[in-house]
Chain A
Amino acid sequence: MKVLFFAALRETMGQSEIEIVLEAPTTVGALKAMIKLPNGETLSAASRNQSIMAAVDQEMVDDLATVSVTSEVAFFPPVTGG
């Protein structure tokens, strides 16, 4: 499955996209605990200090949402368009 990062989070991660092989479906919250920032901190830990939003298959979701083995997941800061 594919994980995308946008804006300030993309810069913090140092990349816009990673591939993760999931053995079985999981949740957004569990996925955040698997992903590490370059400083070693997990995305779950980082999201305690900054607001990180999530989308699964291009729909906004919360940490309880299901992630399938083929989902497109994205993490990003609160949006600022308009």
Chain B
Amino acid sequence: MYRSILIQAEDFSLDDALAELKTQSGLAGGLCFFTGAVRNSNLDEVVGGLYLEHYPGMTERQLDQIVDEAARRWQLHGVIVIHRIGQLMPGDNIVLVAVAASHRGEAFEACEMMMDYLKTNATFWKKESIPDGHRWVEARSSDQTKTTAWDA
């Protein structure tokens, strides 16, 4: 299975990533991806920017383990995970999880599981710039519920 995990400050191209996934996983007929971008408002406040902190080393290991878990559950031909760090602006790309499988069912499920796990297990933290300063984004219990559901 083709695997690419990147944590980077630079932007990424969705087109280039999907083209790479398609080329590198020749048997795959089904490609599914999720991508997340910086929103311009949260909790009724204007968000002017987003700073992303991570735990170097541990985050890479965790993303690797998440891909391992997806590959254990489904027959996958390729996975690309890209997550940005540092200072981002509204509209900027944050994350991409893209999966190649033989059929759509596996691709949809693996993509959703990896995003759910990433949300609750990968050591990234978001800090928003709002009109009167900054605030750390709070974890949502609904995210934990979604991750736990995969282990049921």
Q: Give chain A's interface residues, CB within 8 Å of chain B.
A: 4, 6-8, 51, 55, 58, 60, 74, 76-82
Contacts and interface: CB of A to CB of B under 8 A. Distances in A.
Interface in B80-134: 83, 94-95, 115, 118-127
Interface of B: 36, 52-55, 57-58, 61, 83, 94-95, 115, 118-127, 136-139
B125 A6 contact: yes
A79 B122 contact: yes
Contacts of B138: 78, 80
A6 to B, nearest CB: 6
Contacts of B123: 6, 55, 76, 79, 81
B30 to A, nearest CB: 22
Contact of A80 (B55, B61, B83, B137): B137
9 contacts: A4-B55, A7-B125, A8-B125, A58-B61, A77-B136, A78-B120, A79-B124, A80-B125, A81-B118
B120 A79 contact: yes
Tell me what chain A mostly uses at the interface: helix, strand, loop, or mixed.
loop
B103 to A, nearest CB: 25
Which of A6, A76, A81 has its CB near the most chain B CB atoms (within 10 A)? A81
Contacts of A79: 119-125, 139
Contacts of B124: 79-82
Given A7-B136, A77-B136, A82 B94 contact: yes
Given A79-B139, A82-B95, A74 B58 contact: yes
Contacts of A55: 55, 58, 123
Contact of B125 (A58, A74, A77): A77
Nearest to A53: B123
B19 to A, nearest CB: 23
Shortest 5 CB-CB contacts between residues of A and residues of B: A81-B124, A78-B139, A7-B125, A58-B58, A82-B119
A80 B118 contact: no
B139 A81 contact: no
A18 B94 CA distance: 30
Contacts of B118: 81-82
A79 B136 CA distance: 10
B125 A81 contact: yes
